[in-house]
Chain A
Amino acid sequence: MTDPMQEIMASFFVECEELHEALIDALQSMADGFHDAETINVAFRAVHSIKGGAGAFGLEELVGFSHQFETVMDACRSNELAISDDLVQLFLRCGDFLSDLIRCSRDGDTINAVASEALIDELSGFVPKADTDAASEEIDFQPMTLSLDDLGGDASDDLPMDLPPLADLGPAPVDEETVQAAALLIRFAPEPELYESGNEPLFLLRSLADLGPCQVDLDFAPPSSIDELAKPGGRLSWTVRVETDQPASAAQEIFEFAAGLCRLEIGPASEMDGALPGALPTVEEDIPALVETPLPEIIESKQPTVPPSDGAPRSAAPTKTVAKVSPTVRVDLERIERLVNLVGELVINQAMLSQSIAEENIPQNSPVSAGLDEFMQLTRNIQESVMMIRAQPVKSLFQRMSRIVREASSAVNKSVRLVTDGENTEIDKTAIECLADPLTHMIRNAVDHGLESSERRVANGKPKQGEIRLAAAHRSGRVIIEVTDDGGGINREKVLAIALKKGLVPEDVVLNDNEIDQLLFLPGFSTADEVSALSGRGVGMDVVKTQITSLGGRITIDSTPGVGTKFSISLPLTLAVLDGMVVTVAGETLVVPLNAIVETLSLTAKDLRPIGPGQVVLCVRERFVPVLDLGKELGYRQALSIDNGAIALLISPEEGTLVAMLVDTIEDQRQVVIKGLQESYGRVRGVAAATILGDGKIALILDPNDIAQSASGVAFDNVQKEAS
Chain B
Amino acid sequence: MSLKEKLRVMVVDDMSTSRGLITQALDSIGIQNVASAGDGKTALAAIAQSPVHLVISDYNMPEMDGLHLLHYLRSSPPTQKTGFLLITGKADPAVIEKGKQLGMNNFLAKPFQPADLKSAIEAIVGRL
Binding site for B on A (CB under 8 A): 4-5, 7-8, 11-12, 15, 19, 41-42, 45, 48-49, 51-53, 55-56, 58, 63, 70, 132, 135-136, 138-139, 141, 143-148, 150-152, 154-156, 158-166, 169, 172-174, 286-287, 289-290, 293, 295-299
Contacts and interface: CB of A to CB of B under 8 A. Distances in A.
Interface string B1-44: 10100111000001111101100100000000100000001001
B110 A289 contact: no
Contacts of A296: 67, 94-95, 97-98, 101
Given A52-B89, A290-B71, A293-B101, A161 B47 contact: yes
B75 A286 contact: yes
A287 B17 CA distance: 33
Contacts of B1: 154
A160 B78 contact: yes
B124 A145 contact: yes
A8 B17 CA distance: 6
Contacts of B45: 166
A138 B100 CA distance: 14
A52 B126 contact: no
Interface residues on B, range: 35 or more
Contacts of A173: 68, 71-72, 75
A287 B75 CA distance: 6
Contact of A155 (B8, B20, B21, B109): B8
A421 B45 CA distance: 40
B51 A159 contact: yes
B44 A135 contact: no
A58 B100 contact: no
B59 to A, nearest CB: 10
A146 B105 contact: yes
A139 B95 CA distance: 10
29 contacts: A4-B24, A7-B20, A8-B17, A12-B17, A42-B62, A52-B58, A52-B89, A53-B21, A136-B109, A138-B93, A141-B99, A143-B106, A143-B120, A147-B125, A147-B126, A148-B125, A151-B81, A151-B82, A154-B6, A155-B7, A156-B6, A163-B48, A163-B78, A163-B79, A164-B76, A169-B41, A169-B44, A172-B65, A298-B94
Nearest to B42: A166
Contacts of A154: 1, 6
B16 A11 contact: yes
A156 B72 CA distance: 24
Interface string B48-75: 1001010000101111110110011011
A293 B17 contact: no
Contacts of B61: 45
Given A148-B3, A163-B44, A299 B111 contact: no
A528 B123 CA distance: 69
A151 B53 contact: yes
Contacts of A42: 62
B106 A144 contact: yes
B124 to A, nearest CB: 6
Contacts of B123: 143, 145
A135 B91 contact: yes
A63 B16 CA distance: 18
A173 B65 CA distance: 11
A293 to B, nearest CB: 6
A55 to B, nearest CB: 3
Interface of B: 1, 3, 6-8, 14-18, 20-21, 24, 33, 41, 44-45, 47-48, 51, 53, 58, 60-65, 67-68, 71-72, 74-76, 78-79, 81-83, 89-107, 109-112, 120, 123-126
Contacts of A143: 105-106, 120, 123-124
A297 B94 contact: yes
Nearest to A283: B75
A524 B3 CA distance: 73
A70 B124 CA distance: 31
Contact of B60 (A48, A132, A155, A159): A48
A289 B20 contact: no
Given A56-B111, A148-B53, A135 B68 contact: no
Contacts of A45: 60-62
- Counting from the closest, the 5 A-B pairs by CB-CB distance are A55-B111, A296-B98, A287-B75, A143-B123, A161-B78
A384 B6 CA distance: 49
A8 B6 contact: no
Contacts of A141: 96, 99-100, 106-107
Given A53-B17, A55-B110, A146-B83, A166 B44 contact: yes
A164 B79 CA distance: 11
* Most chain B CB inside 10 Å of its own CB: which residue of A70, A144, A160: A144
A61 to B, nearest CB: 14
Contacts of B107: 141
Contacts of A150: 81
Given A55-B111, A161-B78, A173-B68, 14 more contacts: A4-B20, A7-B20, A15-B16, A56-B110, A146-B125, A147-B125, A148-B3, A163-B72, A169-B44, A172-B63, A172-B65, A172-B71, A287-B75, A289-B75
B101 to A, nearest CB: 6
B9 to A, nearest CB: 11
A15 B6 contact: no
Nearest to A153: B6
A11 B23 CA distance: 14
A52 B110 contact: yes
Contacts of B44: 163, 166, 169
Given A8-B24, A45-B60, A161-B47, A295 B98 contact: yes
A584 B41 CA distance: 63
A159 B124 CA distance: 19
B83 A151 contact: yes
A678 to B, nearest CB: 39
A253 B60 CA distance: 41
A174 B61 CA distance: 14
